[in-house]
Structure 1
Amino acid sequence: MAATTGFITLPDNVRLAYTQTGPTSGPNIVFIPGWIQTAAQFHKQVTHFQTRFRVTTYDHRGHGDSDKPVFGYRVPRLAADLDALLEQLDLHAVTLVGHSMGASTIWAHWDLFPHTRVRKVVFIDQARSLTINPSWTAEERLLAGAAFTPEALFEMANKLAGPGGDEVRRGLAGRFYTENVDAAEFRWAEEQTAKAPARVAGAMMLGHALWDWGDVFPRFTVPVLVIAGKASIVPVESGQWIVDQVGPNARLVVFEKEEGGGHFTFVENPEKFNRVLEEFLDE
């Protein structure tokens, strides 16, 4: 099916690259990529859903084929970019599907902007906070999904932005997949992440990982699907915590390790992922 590609121009004159495919009368899905990921990495979802749905993908500022300014690398700014995309493309009754930092973008959008265009939301393998509050107990850290001490986070961000940033990025990538990931798919994904300059990778790591979105979840009023992986760096318990905070409007689906249950479930097991998402969309 033929795709429409183009750019929207944000109020700060940054251009975001987007692609749309599927029937214009179909229900709207917007896929939102994670940290230094690109829209192209949802290709297995686009191929599946474009027969019935109007599918929109886009690259964050600094990522993929979008402009790469020297400013704006904070999740609330990404939420404003998302809001501009929904408005300029005139999308309504949208299901937002966010992976990793893309989920945080949805949380910031819900926190800051009207919800009139949003019908359902999907959070793929994202912790409420990536940075440990020193006052938290071990259980609180687990339920938050936090992985970095504040010192370790700044050290990582500085390394990513520094001269050896590409090597640091490649080292991180290996932790995001299971050992069964297709080798060619993994190499291609690395090429996609390399489209984000080292300075963007470092700045966006800080602009993403420093936030704690715990107070947003009880305020969701639309159906919520949370997808987690048993072999992911994000603990499944943190996904259940999010579901518990949202309440009866939310549910958790867990991928076992042998089901491609790493950070990229939609890449490693697109058959199950697409089936689970389609069932949620049709409810």
Structure 2
Amino acid sequence: MNRRTVLEATLLGTALAAAPAAAQAIQQPARSSRATAKDGTSLFVQDWGSGRPVLFLAAWTFNSSVWGSHIVALNARGYRCVAPDRRGHGRSDMPMTGYDLETLTDDVAEVIEQRDLRDVTLVAHSMGSIEAVNYLARHGSDRIARLVLVAPTTPFLLQTEDNPDAVPKPMIDAQNDAIAQDFPKWMAANEAPFFMPDTSEVTRAWIREMMLSVPLPVALACRRTISFADLRAAAARIDRPTLIVHGDRDASAPLPLTGARTAKLISGSRLNVYEGAPHALPLTHAGQLLSDMLAFMTS
């Protein structure tokens, strides 16, 4: 274990150890664990701590539980952490509709507005990045102070005439067909590059169960939304400080296609590349990610 890894582990461990005392010191009013979308869908929302707010958006078929360690660590540092479950995911309602980008983005806006969050650091992993970038384009940046994109799937995954180096539609369709026919088999075939070799089986099993808990029609609808979301213009208009964190061995959202292109589009953004890192950075590189987030939020 190198010195940087030891420091990262120490930082995360110290914050986690301090969390009980910090939680005891916080006297906060009771907050509802739900928000209501425009179409009446009930969204589950974790809302812990007090101070400047950090809003977490999760990856495709993930729910807010994946941010648990970060929430506890940031609570101990004096931040309020808010993390919704996307509709159709986790403890939120599972309606038959609403998995298009506009509705998903409006769901995020309802969470922010119903809790009157301001000066927000918006942290988004993978699919969450398209919701975050589209939120800024659709609802403006008045309530957002900073943006952190973790292994983003922005700006545009689909190969088109003006996006020739992206993913051909037949390849996207083939992946979706494989998921539709046997989701567990597809997950098993793609699991190894998603994690690090030393990622525990307990963690892997937890994520498999989380992903399989999402109804297959919802998973496929969200995957189509990710594939066809063209956020190049939206990214170019972002006017908030932005940190992009990406692994150079990300098989799910390859760095040259996603993180690197997004960084070029967002003026003044900072791109931190984790050597040898995969897509599941909040799980595999939690300490390093927390360290970079804290440095960015206090800069």
TM-score, normalised by the number of residues in structure 2: 0.84
Please give the residue correspondences for 1:190-201 in structure 2 after superposition, counting only pairs within 5 Å: 190-201=208-219
The residue that corresponds to 1:156 in the other structure is: 175
- 80, 94, 103: which one pairs with 1:54? 80
Q: In structure 1, how many angstroms separate the alpha carbons of the residues matched to 2:222 and 2:254?
A: 22
Deviation by residue 1:80-128 (Cα, 9 ceiling, x = unmatched): 1000110111111101000001011011111211221111001111232
d(CA) in 2 for partners of 1:109 and 1:170?
Answer: 33
Structure 1 runs, 4 residues or longer, greater than 4 Å off? 2-5, 134-137
One-letter amino acid matched to 1:247: S
In structure 2, the residue matched to 1:251 is 270
Match of 1:240 in 2: 260
Rounded Cα–Cα distance in structure 1 between residues aligned with 2:250 and 2:94: 29
Structure 1 residue 136 displacement after superposition: 4.3
The alignment's C-alpha RMSD in Å is: 1.8
Deviation at 1:170, TM superposition (A): 4.1
CA distance in 2, matches of 1:136, 1:114: 26
For 1:100-119, list aligned pairs within 5 A: 100-119=126-145
Q: Please name the residue that 1:77 is paired with.
A: 103
Give CA-to-partner distance per residue, 1:28-56, whole Å, 9 cap, x none.
00000011111001112111101210000
* Cα deviation, residue 175, structure 1: 3.5
> In the aligned structure 1, how far is the partner of 2:210 from the partner of 2:262?
29
- TM-score of the aligned structures, taking structure 1 as reference length: 0.89
The verdict on how the C-alpha distance between 1:117 and 1:7 changes in structure 2, with shifts beyond 3 A counting, is same
Distance, in Å, in 2 between the alignment partners of 1:109 and 1:116 is 11
SS at match of 1:29: strand
- Corresponding letter in the other structure for 1:241: R
- Asked if 1:279 is matched to 2:295, the reply is yes
Q: How many residues align?
A: 268
Q: Equivalents in 2 of 1:269, 1:102: separation in Å?
A: 18
C-alpha contact 1:59 1:66 (8 A) present in aligned 2 = yes
- 2:5 matched to which residue of 1? none
- Aligned-partner Cα distance in 2 for 1:76–1:101: 14
Cα distance in 2, alignment partners of residues 170 and 108 from structure 1? 31
Q: 1:156 & 1:104 partners in 2: Cα distance?
A: 20
**In the aligned structure 2, how far is the partner of 1:95 from the partner of 1:47?**
16
**How far apart are the structure 1 equivalents of 2:180 and 2:93?**
18
Q: Cα distance, 1:236 vs. partner?
A: 2.5
1: CA distance between counterparts of 2:92 and 2:187?
A: 20
Q: Does 1:167 align with 2:185?
A: yes
Change (3 A) 1:275 1:219: same
Pick the structure with greater CA Rg: 2
Identity rate, percent: 22
Distance 1:242 1:176 in 2: 21
Report the equivalent of 1:27: 52
Structure 2 unaligned runs (5+)?
Answer: 1-22, 25-29
Amino acid at match of 2:285: N
Which 5+ residue runs of structure 1 have no aligned equivalent? Answer: none
Match of 1:69, SS state, is coil
Is the Cα contact below 8 Å between 1:158 and 1:202 reproduced in 2? Answer: no
The answer to which of 97-106 and 174-183 deviates more is 174-183
Do the aligned partners of 1:9 and 1:16 also contact (CA within 8 Å) in 2? yes
Give yes or no for contact 1:157–1:201 (8 Å, CA) kept in 2: no
Query: Would you say the 8 A contact 1:243–1:251 is kept in 2?
Result: yes
Other structure's SS at 2:86 match: coil
Corresponding position of 1:222: 240
Aligned residue in 1 for 2:11: none
Cα pair distance change 1:17/1:69, threshold 3 Å:
same
8 Å Cα contact 1:29/1:54 also seen in 2: yes
The answer as to 2:61 corresponding to 1:41 is: no
Instruction: Identify the range of structure 1 (126-135 vs 92-101) with the bigger mean alpha-carbon deviation.
Output: 126-135
